[in-house]
Amino acid sequence: MRGDPKSHGLWELTAPAPPYTGSLMGGAEADVVVIGGGYTGLSSAIHLAAGGVRVALLEASEIGFGGSGRNVGLVNAGMWVMPDTLAGTLGSPFGERLIELLGHGPQKVIELIEKHGIDCELERSGTLHCAVGCKGLHEIEMRAEQWQKRGALVFVLNAEETRQAIGGGNYTGALLDKRAATIQPLAYVRGLARIALAAGVKIFTQSEVLTASDTGSRWRIGTANGFVNADWVIVATDAYGKGPWSQVRQEQIHLPYFNCATRPLSDHLRTSILPERQGAWDTREILSSYRIDRSGRLVLGSVGALEGVGASVHRSWAARSLRRLFPQLGDVEFEAVWFGMIGMTSDNLPRFHKLDRNVVAFSGYNGRGIAPGTVFGSVLASYILGQVTEKDLPLPVAPVKERCFRAAREALYRAGSQLVHLIEARL
């Protein structure tokens, strides 16, 4: 069954079809039940199955329905937080351990893609973090210095080098991260599902978890038409979480993010815009991102929800922004538009939770889901397999704390992004 092209846009139009999965009917037995069919859930399932564990995965909708199938497709290293700030916030030993793990995150994704031959439009040319003004240039120079002292392949481009790399724009510089990559995100997550099925994982879609009960020795996880008995539970729903452990979603603020994809560009335009096919984004508070897919479509994204008035405001802003960035484009026509939700934690860092006896979760990717989700999935598998202990994990155990005034803050994000784009579209 195909997903909704209105919610997954270009990715639904161009991804290989998902593998066949049915809904859970009746009872099933497993060692581990995974809730959520995104990067974290499927990565954990694959690595657990490789360790000889029986795994059942329950997905409320379809594979990649949430953030895994809606994002920009930038496979970035690290988090939004500066490396030194991250290290200071988490302290020793977790800070540098997390930086090391996520710094190599893109390489883990690339290795998985190449090992299994996942058809997901992998481009290994890196990413460009583009500086806006003097403040933005200072930010990327600080970020580069902090990564370089840790041995990372990152470089600062000057304004002219940035203009050539982008093929337009008026940036003061850019941080080129050679570790990073771009992919077709829905194709990647569907590829992970195929790997998991081939490894013996039982995947059930259209199987929303409604109940969870601890029998004392095992967990019984119930859906509308069945149940799974298991020793362990992995909650891998992140910003789209609901059901028995919905508090994972409640500790995050939903930040809407949309994307607009043009029709395939002419050969001439393809050679002048992002000629080396890096993915890019800028340092604005209401940031913009852009990249080109395999067929030459230019994809522009920014903060905002394509709902109600916002649909026309953001779409109009996107067309004008592309013409300003790349005057050679001329008139802009979009082939697909879509949006999803980013889960933002209070300090923009992920969390490791022990939600109950033998119930674990990583969450709060703050817009960096591809590499962290893939890596954290393997970490959860190692933890359950007994290959690492709690003290070896990249994050300490954190209590779940619901964000205050969550609904009001989310409404402010939506209204604020509309206002900014409405103003910018008229300048």
Per residue in 326-359, pLDDT tens? 999 988 999 999 999 999 999 999 999 999 999 9
Query: Mapping DSSP to helix (H, G, I), strand (E, B) and coil, where does residue 143 land?
Result: helix
Q: What pLDDT band is residue 426 in, cutting at 50, 70 and 90?
A: low
The length of the chain is 427
Distance, CA of 259 to CA of 281 (rounded, Å): 13
- For residues 342 and 255, the answer to whether their CB atoms sit within 8 Å is yes
Residue 420 has pLDDT above 60, yes or no: yes
**CA dist list (Å): 169 to 172, 259, 328, 376:** 10, 19, 11, 36
- Average of per-residue pLDDT across 177-205: 98
pTM for this entry: 0.96
Query: Mapping DSSP to helix (H, G, I), strand (E, B) and coil, where does residue 186 land?
Result: helix
- Domain residue ranges in the chain: 1-120+182-252+345-396, 127-178, 253-344+404-427
CATH homologous superfamily of 1-120+182-252+345-396 = FAD/NAD(P)-binding domain (3.50.50.60)
Q: What pLDDT band is residue 1 in, cutting at 50, 70 and 90?
A: very low
Distance, CA of 427 to CA of 205 (rounded, Å): 46
- 406-417: pLDDT as tens digits: 899 989 989 999
